[in-house]
Amino acid sequence: MIQITPAASDRMRAFLARSPGAAGVRFAVKRMGCSGFGYVVDLAGDIAEDDRVLDIDGIRVVVDPKSLPLVDGTLIDFQRQGLNASFVFHNPNATGECGCGESFTVA
């Protein structure tokens, strides 16, 4: 199960309010960075037949079947530090992260 903090929920709701045609928020991973996988949070334009759709705090979170085992149990937060603002991921499946925190590895 994926969890979302109130700060991340507020940020996702703001994105969805500006894009009423979006099917929800897509949460996925893709190969990138120096450690292997990077997180992707974006508006879901459509939902594939094999996507998993989760209702988390009233937000439709769409996860593809390849990403789900890698993000299951993740807590998504949203943090502001000075002029920077970003989603932060606490993933129990990650066995390592790159120095900049942009990518992660799994066993």
pLDDT in tens, 73-99: 999 999 998 888 989 898 888 877 766
CATH T-level fold of 3-106? Hypothetical Protein Aq_1857; Chain: A; (2.60.300)
The pTM (predicted TM-score) of the whole model is 0.86
Query: What does the alpha-carbon distance between residue 39 and residue 62 come to, in Å, rounded to a whole number?
Result: 13
Residue 34 has pLDDT above 80, yes or no: no
- CA nearest neighbour of 89 among 105, 76, 98: 76
Task: Please report the pLDDT score of residue 95 as a whole number.
Answer: 77
* Percentage of the chain modeled with pLDDT above 70: 91
